[in-house]
Structure 1
């Protein structure tokens, strides 16, 4: 199914009054002059979005029709150690895509439109100060052998955000000037505008990849898998570091054949330069009962693959949330099988972490 012409075409923009004082805020408002503007006290407290359980049944329309603008308050850099050394203050929250396993809706209630933060200069300055404070990275780790890496898109997809504002362009530009740090974000959306941002090797893009058949079921409103794979070459040529994010790995009866086919497609498509720098993350599916209930209102077919009490067990995440994951002995065996299939076809792809 083809993606719509624009994933976000806001008919209504909720905004904090201070947004109009920022150049980025005025820029976004001018970009969507026909949208109704509704002032709110806080981008986090919009009852007509976050407290209306019925909106779960109108999930996709809300993502297209609603945009939220706010001012980022906290500039905390949280340690990570997996995808990045630190989680940066986010320049946005929420996503216009609708992956049925995504954890972000667990935090934002029954509607999950994109929220863009207009004080991007505060965010880039905070990043520069933090990297300067830490100085040179003392030793290599699994995140990066040389640089401190900051995850820029924990709560959304920056490739989609770049269709709304210039925040992503400004973040990429900021890291060109920080000698000991890189930015990093995962994406499922191919935005060719990013190819002109001149990252100079200082931004890492992690393309999320899974078998096409599964993606058509659970990766709603995302770019087709073949486009994501082919884009790896384009982004490497444009100066990005490009990794693969095999996530989530969803176990089902035909998963071996599907993943072997995907690995073959990647190997056949990638140019030598892309293969030479390719690394990956592997994340087995975790799920959540609250999200399961929401999904049953708008996309129950996906839950047949995601909600599997017969092979899952309770798990408490690092942030204290109660989730479910594949049962421990089986998960270890399945992950070892997955790694074996991958090494057969992609022996050059270093695994940065897998869990």
Structure 2
């Protein structure tokens, strides 16, 4: 279910930490919505009327549309990753205006998940510049990148949407534009053509998340249509971005393999030669969570018909101790192999960076 750009964010209330209001980026964000009510808060994690209130389930999408939170990133640190990227950079934001029903980020926020923008961007960029400088050149290629250290800058949100709110994403991409040993990376489900004017000089990798359109219409609420995401790839390559794709999440519907075959045909037909030559993908099968399942039943039960399928799922305890569910072994192993074979057949030029 798509949403028009102008309706994605109609901010009427900004919850703001006092310290964030004192920073230049905080003042810039406030100025973008001069009619919005400013509600001063002690912490962006502690807003009773937004987070942790079960009655907010029915207002899930409305809160995402109308509320914005402005805070400071307290823990400015970079973590080792090694899968999608070499490192996870400090978040520029937390939360999203879109409403994919399988998203893991709302699990930390309770019953609503508006965007929290961090105003201390100068502290974040200084940290990243020091971290990149300390690494020096990459001495050995790996699956993240053969030459550059890759920093995921959008772990807890969607940078294409965040770029509608502030200059945070552009500031970080500009930093990497001038950094020959590293590059930024983020996944997105929103086509923001403003980014085509940024001239990233090959130092930003955008990963467009793709899945069959019939499934996306049920689970990817308020996102750009799948056809728009595919159509944008050539333009972003031409604008100087490295563009990969995320086949994610892979949801095992009764027609899943045929649906993915159709998607791969659409992708192959749309891409020009330069886009194909640089293409790589990540493949991530669905992981769900019982708590999120219960929340989703309150606002979008139709999506749970696809996501919550206990007959073919088993428990998986994550690194942070949360109990999630994933497809049972060996069903998942068979599905991973089948999709890999299909990619090799339909998109032989597309390197699979990892699949799980």
Q: TM > 0.5 between the two?
A: yes
1:231 aligns with 2:232: yes
Query: Structure 1 CA distance, aligned partners of 2:257 and 2:230?
Result: 19
Q: Residue 344 of structure 1: SS of its match in structure 2?
A: helix
Residue 101 of structure 1 aligns to a residue in which SS?
coil
Distance 1:190 1:3 in 2: 12
Work out the CA distance in 2 between the residues paired with 1:6 and 1:233.
26
Where in structure 2 are the equivalents of 1:85-164 lying within 5 Å?
85-164=86-165
Instruction: Provide the residue aligned with 2:314 in structure 1.
Output: 313
Query: Which deviates the most, 305-314 or 118-127?
Result: 118-127
CA distance in structure 1 between the aligned counterparts of 2:26 and 2:252, rounded to whole angstroms? 43
RMSD (CA atoms): 0.9
Mapped to 1, the partners of 2:2 and 2:293 lie a distance apart of: 26
1:240-319 pair list within 5 angstroms = 240-319=241-320
1:48, CA displacement in angstroms?
1.4
Structure 1 gaps, min length 5: none
Instruction: Provide Cα deviations, 1:280-309, integer angstroms capped at 9, x if missing partner.
Output: 000000000000000000000110110010
1:141-176 residue CA offsets vs partner (Å, 9 max, x unmatched):
110111111110000000000111111111110101
CA–CA separation in structure 1 for the residues paired with 2:177 and 2:346: 34
**Structure 2: gaps of 5 or more residues:** none
Partner of 2:73: 72
**How many residues were matched structurally?**
355
Q: 1:163, 1:126 → 2: CA distance?
A: 24
Q: Deviations over 1:66-110 (max 9, x none)?
A: 000011111111111111111100010000000000000001110
- Hey, what does 1:207 align to over in structure 2? 208
Runs of 4+ in 1 over 3 A off after TM superposition: none
Question: For residue 13 of structure 1, what is the aligned residue in structure 2?
Answer: 14
Distance 2:314 2:262 in 1: 29
Residue 24 of structure 1: aligned partner = 25
Distance (Å, rounded) in 1 between the aligned partners of 2:174 and 2:15 = 28
Does the CA contact (< 8 Å) of 2:158 and 2:189 recur in 1?
Answer: yes
Matched, 1:352 2:353: yes
Offset of residue 182 of structure 1:
0.6
Distance in 2 between residues matched to 1:228 and 1:37, nearest whole Å: 35
Partner Cα separation in structure 2 for residue 319 and residue 274 of structure 1: 37
Note the C-alpha offset of 1:320: 2.2
Instruction: Compute the displacement of 1:318 (Å).
Output: 2.4
Find the counterpart in structure 2 of residue 34 from structure 1: 35
CA distance in 2, matches of 1:9, 1:160: 13
Deviation at 1:2, TM superposition (A): 4.8
Normalised by the size of structure 2, how large is the TM-score? 0.98
Distance 2:21 2:309 in 1: 47
Report whether the alignment pairs 1:3 with 2:3.
Answer: yes
- Residues 316-335 of structure 1 aligned to structure 2 (within 5 Å): 316-335=317-336
d(CA) in 2 for partners of 1:41 and 1:107? 18
SS, match of residue 6 in structure 1: helix
Tell me if structure 1 keeps the 8 A contact 2:52–2:109.
Answer: no
Query: Following the alignment from structure 2 to structure 1, what is the Cα–Cα distance between the partners of residues 120 and 259?
Result: 43
Q: Is the 8 A contact 2:2 2:221 kept in 1?
A: no
Q: Deviations over 1:263-294 (max 9, x none)?
A: 00000000000000000000000000000000
The residue matched to 1:217 in structure 2 has which SS? Answer: helix
